[in-house]
Amino acid sequence: MKVTPEFIDYREQQLPADTGAVLVPGGFSYGDYLRSGAIARFSPIMEDVKHFADTGKPVIGICNGFQVLTEAGLLPGALRHNMSLDFICKPQPLSVVNNQTLFTDQFEKDQTVMFPIAHGEGNYYCDDETLTELKQNNQIVFIYQDNPNGSTADIAGIVNKQGNVLGMMPHPERASESILGGADGKLLFESLVASVEMAVG
Whether 81 sits among the annotated catalytic residues: the reply is no
Q: What is the pLDDT of residue 2?
A: 72
pLDDT at 200 over 80: no
Q: What is the pLDDT of residue 1?
A: 61
Confidence of residue 27 (pLDDT cuts 50, 70, 90): confident
Q: What percent of the chain has pLDDT over 90?
A: 85
pLDDT at 76 over 90: yes
Tens digits of per-residue pLDDT, 99-134?
999 999 999 999 999 999 999 999 999 999 999 999
Active-site annotation holder among 89, 129, 173, 197: 173
Q: Write down the CATH number for the domain with range 22-200.
A: 3.40.50.880
Active-site annotation holder among 129, 171, 177, 190: 171
Task: Tell me the mean pLDDT in the region 148-166.
Answer: 98
Q: What is the pLDDT of residue 78?
A: 96
pTM check: above 0.85? yes
E-strand spans in the chain? Answer: 22-24, 59-62, 78-80, 88-96, 112-119, 123-125, 140-144, 155-159, 165-168
Active-site annotation holder among 63, 71, 121, 126: 63
Sheet holding 165-168, edge to edge: 22-24, 59-62, 165-168, 155-159, 140-144, 88-96, 112-119
Whether 173 sits among the annotated catalytic residues: the reply is yes
Q: What is the pLDDT of residue 201?
A: 61
Whether 63 sits among the annotated catalytic residues: the reply is yes
Confidence of residue 31 (pLDDT cuts 50, 70, 90): confident
